[in-house]
């Protein structure tokens, strides 16, 4: 997620400084180039060598030491940064930044940067809640700094409350959102279907299903963020289309969806069929509202809708095909069978009976099955996060 990003990490004198070492490791793993600047009090807690080894770069500690590279170091780091992180940030550094003080390498660099600055405070609860610290933080936010709220819990000083340094994984997630995801779908043409279809019985009634469209819309939004040219073909939903779509097409029935999908099939590199297409439609549409009459039952004859995805699989040329399946039983067998029958590259399967998965919720728990026979369980996460995970997999497989 942070491939090629230049991150400057300022470490200050908090007991949580040792946790910043783990943060460096995670940043590197996510692809970032990391340069660490330490205040002199941070060096009382952790040695620069730790950060040097983990970041793979010399650690900047003092303005008046001989610079490792012969540049005006604080300005060069400040200029190159895509993100400037102060983690952990003490009350002292927060106050200094708010006052515009530049009396060491770190404060000078922060003052000189035009990059986004993220402050992650960690301190004693009373210091954190002190109105001066709170006002300083508000002032920094007003000036465009980003501040991550500390966690609540037991503190190193023996107190308990707000002031804990968040887990490095949590900070990384915050950073990834802040820096923005990579544009690895640049120039890729992606067709996404979302929502249910509606199969009319008469002018006022229809057959449909419980799909909200949230997963498909999250995928469309994520694909746009990553630079894709996205066509979203959607059944009836209450959702707003995400900004930046190449085309937004609303349909009602499976037949209408089929027509639109086929129209654009030749255009696309990737098709993601997140729509819950009705398998059947009423065989005879009745032009007037059907009266209930005296009979205790009624007969509604249904005929099968075309399986759009299967048709795409049969006509597949260069396209990468992603299917979705909502299952309630024999999940694995059904998934593998659909993957094969529809000639898919991968299928995202959710057990709609699981809590936090399926219809109309903001989270999902899925398993991804791949054409090569492998499978991957994805833990519960928001549909937007899952959208990015699915796109990560697509991007990786497109490279091969």
Tokens 């210091």, residue located: 127
User: Which 105-144 positions form the footprint of ligand C5P (CB under 6 A)?
Assistant: none
Q: Residue 324, interface with ligand C5P (CB under 6 A)? A: yes
Question: Counting every residue, how long is the chain?
Answer: 400
Binding of ligand C5P by 309 (CB under 6 A): yes
**Phi then psi for 18, rounded to 5 degrees?**
-65, -30
DSSP labels, 72-128: -HHHHHHHH-SEEEEEEE-HHHHHHHHHT---SHHHHHHHH--SEEEEEE---HHHH
Q: Which residue's entry shows tokens 């300083």?
A: 136
From candidates 308, 339, 346, 366, binder to ligand C5P by CB under 6 A: 308
Nearer to ligand C5P, 22 or 307 (CB): 307
338 binds ligand C5P (CB under 6 A): yes
Nearer to ligand C5P, 41 or 334 (CB): 334
- Nearest residue (CB) to ligand C5P, 324 versus 369: 324
Is 268 catalytic? The answer is: no
Residue 17, judged by CB atoms within 10 A of its CB (0-12, 13-18, 19+), counts as buried
394 belongs to the binding site for ligand C5P (CB under 6 A):
no
Least Å from the CB of residue 244 to ligand C5P:
23
Torsional class of 87: left (φ above 0), alpha (ψ -120 to 50), beta (otherwise): beta
What would the DSSP string read from start to end of 126-174? HHHHSHHHHHHHHHHHHTT-EEPPPEEEE-TTS-EEEEEPPPHHHHHHH
Q: What is the SS3 assignment for 303?
A: strand
Question: Which residue has 């007003």 as its token pair?
Answer: 142
Tokens encoding 116? 């986004």
273 binds ligand C5P (CB under 6 A): yes
Residue 343 to residue 317: CA distance in whole angstroms: 11
Which of 176, 307, 351, 392 binds ligand C5P (CB under 6 A)? It is 307
d(CA 56, CA 39): 19
For ligand C5P, the closer of residues 136 and 193 by Cβ is 193
Size of the site for ligand C5P (CB under 6 A): 14
Contacts of ligand C5P in 275-294 (CB under 6 A): 275, 277, 279
Smaller CB separation from ligand C5P, 130 or 209: 209
Query: Which of 157, 290, 300, 361 is an active site residue?
Result: 157
- Of the candidate spans 172-180, 199-207, 242-250, 307-315, the one that interacts with ligand C5P by CB under 6 A turns out to be 307-315
Q: What secondary structure does DSSP assign to 345-371, as a single string? A: SEEEEEETTSTT-STT-SEEEEEEEET
SS3 252: coil
Shortest Å, Cβ 230 to ligand C5P: 16
Cβ-count burial of 330 within 10 angstroms (0-12 exposed, 13-18 middle, 19+ buried)?
Answer: exposed
Closest separation in Å from C-beta 240 to ligand C5P: 21
Least distance from C-beta 319 to ligand C5P, angstroms? 13
Which of 137, 325, 335, 386 is in the footprint of ligand C5P by CB under 6 A? 325
Nearer to ligand C5P, 190 or 325 (CB): 325
Q: Can you name the residues that pair with 280 across neighbouring β-strands?
A: 304
Binding mask 187-226 for ligand C5P (x = CB under 6 A): ------x---------------------------------
Please give the positions annotated as active site: 157
Q: Rule CB under 6 A: which residues touch ligand C5P?
A: 193, 254, 273, 275, 277, 279, 305, 307-309, 323-325, 338
């Amino acid at each position: 997620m942070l491939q090629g990003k230049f991150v400057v990490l300022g470490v200050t004198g908090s007991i949580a400084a040792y946790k910043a070492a783990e943060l460096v490791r995670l940043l590197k793993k996510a692809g970032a180039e990391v340069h660490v600047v330490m205040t002199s009090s941070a060096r009382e807690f952790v040695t620069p060598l730790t950060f040097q080894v983990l970041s793979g770069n010399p650690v900047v500690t003092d303005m008046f030491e001989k610079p490792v590279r012969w540049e005006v170091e604080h300005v060069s780091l400040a200029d190159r940064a895509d993100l400037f992180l102060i983690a952990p940030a003490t009350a002292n550094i927060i106050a200094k930044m708010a006052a515009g003080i530049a009396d060491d390498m770190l404060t000078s660099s922060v003052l000189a940067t035009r990059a986004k600055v993220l402050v992650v405070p960690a301190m004693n609860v009373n210091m954190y809640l002190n109105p001066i610290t709170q006002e300083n933080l508000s002032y920094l936010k007003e000036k465009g700094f980003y501040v991550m709220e500390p966690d609540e819990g037991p503190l190193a000083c023996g107190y308990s409350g707000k002031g804990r340094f968040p887990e490095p994984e949590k900070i990384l997630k915050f950073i990834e959102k802040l820096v923005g995801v990579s544009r690895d779908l640049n120039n890729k043409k992606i067709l996404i279907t979302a929502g249910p279809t509606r199969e009319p019985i008469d002018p006022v009634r229809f057959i449909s299903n419980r799909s909200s469209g949230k997963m498909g819309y999250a995928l469309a939004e994520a694909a746009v963020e990553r630079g894709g040219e996205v066509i979203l073909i959607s059944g009836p939903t209450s959702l707003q289309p995400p900004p930046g779509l190449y085309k937004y097409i609303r349909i009602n029935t499976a037949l209408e969806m089929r027509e639109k999908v086929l129209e654009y099939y030749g255009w696309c590199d990737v098709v993601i069929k997140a729509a819950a297409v009705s398998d059947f439609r009423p065989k005879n549409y009745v032009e007037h509202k059907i009266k209930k009459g005296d009979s205790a039952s009624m007969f509604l004859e249904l005929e099968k809708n075309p399986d759009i995805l299967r048709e795409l699989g049969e006509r597949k040329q260069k396209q990468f095909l992603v299917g979705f399946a909502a299952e309630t039983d024999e999940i694995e067998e059904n998934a593998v069978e659909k993957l094969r029958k529809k000639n898919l590259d991968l299928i995202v399967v959710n057990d709609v009976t699981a809590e936090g998965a399926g219809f109309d919720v903001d989270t999902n728990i899925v398993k991804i099955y791949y054409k090569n026979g492998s499978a991957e369980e994805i833990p519960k996460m928001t549909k937007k996060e899952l959208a990015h995970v699915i796109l990560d997999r697509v991007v990786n497989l497109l490279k091969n």
